[in-house]
Amino acid sequence: MLLVDLFVLNREAHEISIREAAITSSIWIAIGLSFSLVLWGVLDNGGTAAARYLTGYIVEKSLSVDNVFVWAVIFQYFQVPSKYQHRVLFWGTFGALVMRAVFIFAGAALLESLSWMMYVFGAMLLFTAVKVFRDNDEELEPEKNVVLKLVRRLVPVSDSYDGQKPFTRTSVLRMGKLVATPLFVVLVMIEVTDLIFAVDSVPAILSISNDRFILFSSNALAILGLRALYFLLEAVRDRLVYLPKGLGIILFFVGVKMIISEWVHIDPFLSLGVIVSLLTITVVTSLRATRAT
């Protein structure tokens, strides 16, 4: 799906319109939701696997919205032309999939071998929930980022972009020194933010199921549509004012669910219903509160 998206649908660099982003995002979401029917038919007859998949998909999709907003700040700081942003996000998505796979399989193995890790992951979720709920609204300042300073120190970076190339050569004849373009620095920043968000989101997904296929497929299909969602959310991000509160409550719910799972079993369908309800309330109240603006 990634290859089709890159080499067929977006073969030529171009600026993504809101209409194109809305259509593409709708297609990705339809694919992600429809995959639950595959799990329903293949893995079990009662729909438990499908419910857990949908819960993981919705949780990951919701948590990824914050990641999308960070991308916007990075692109704005580096003044990345709109037509080149999709290519950067493609490689960012690829890196995110690899990191999620490593984290999910490692986390699942830890839970199997060390059952007490369940409480550690649960505590991490509760801590993250409080941090997200408080939402100190701190402005992200890329120029103060340690990773950015390190990249600039280790790798010579040109002052201008050279199309979609992460590296270019100096001099008119292109035979000079090989240097990185600002696009390479942007890609590194995107990958680092993906890594940070993975640390927060993977414990949440581990609280939903111990089936590695369900865990990774729900994460993967949620992440695949993030590029289109980024271009779509850019138009409405200022209106989702209560999103941090909603995400904080969702994380708190899954954290408590993980900690008490040894004594209290919460039905997967009930868990799915709670998360969908919380997310719906968050979005609706945010849009109503900002309707006048």
From the DSSP assignment, how many helices (H) and strands (E) are in the chain? 11, 2
Written as six digits, the tokens of 243 are 């999103």
Which residues, including other chains, have CB under 8 Å from residue 185's CB and lie 6 or more apart?
78, 148, 151, 152, 157
Q: In which residue are the tokens 């692109």 written?
A: 75
Q: In which residue are the tokens 């993967």 written?
A: 220
Q: What pLDDT is attached to residue 53?
A: 92
Contact 70, 232 (CB under 8 A): no
The Cα 207–Cα 118 span in angstroms is 8
Q: What pLDDT is attached to residue 34?
A: 92
Q: How confident is the model at residue 45 (pLDDT cuts 50, 70, 90)?
A: low
Q: What is the mean pLDDT of residues 196-224?
A: 84
Contact 251, 279 (CB under 8 A): no
The Cα 271–Cα 286 span in angstroms is 23
The Cα 27–Cα 36 span in angstroms is 15
Q: What is the mean pLDDT of residues 72-93?
A: 80
Q: Is the pLDDT of residue 4 over 70?
A: yes
Number of separate domains in the chain: 1
The Cα 151–Cα 271 span in angstroms is 42
Q: Domain containing 209: what range? A: 18-289
Q: Which has the minimum average pLDDT: 14-18, 58-62, 64-68, 104-108?
A: 14-18
Written as six digits, the tokens of 200 are 């927060």
The whole model's pTM is what? 0.80
Specify if 12 maps to a domain.
no
Q: What is the mean pLDDT of residues 114-120?
A: 82
Specify if 9 maps to a domain.
no
* DSSP 3-state percent helix, strand, coil across the chain (nearest 5): 75, 0, 25
Contact 181, 167 (CB under 8 A): yes
Q: How confident is the model at residue 54 (pLDDT cuts 50, 70, 90)?
A: very high
Q: What pLDDT is attached to residue 292?
A: 61
Q: Which of 94, 91, 223 minimizes the C-alpha distance to 166?
A: 91
Q: Is the pLDDT of residue 78 over 80?
A: yes
Q: In which residue are the tokens 């996000």 written?
A: 89
What proportion of the chain, given as a percentage, has pLDDT over 90? Answer: 4
Specify if 66 maps to a domain.
yes
Specify if 135 maps to a domain.
yes
Residue-wise pLDDT for 83-106, tens only, equals: 788 778 878 888 888 888 888 888
Q: What pLDDT is attached to residue 288?
A: 87
Q: What is the mean pLDDT of residues 178-206?
A: 82
List helix spans (H) across 207-293: 212-224, 226-233, 243-259, 268-289
Q: How confident is the model at residue 139 (pLDDT cuts 50, 70, 90)?
A: low
Specify if 4 maps to a domain.
no
Q: Helices 82-113 and 226-233 sit at what angle, rounded to 10 degrees? A: 130
Q: How confident is the model at residue 75 (pLDDT cuts 50, 70, 90)?
A: confident
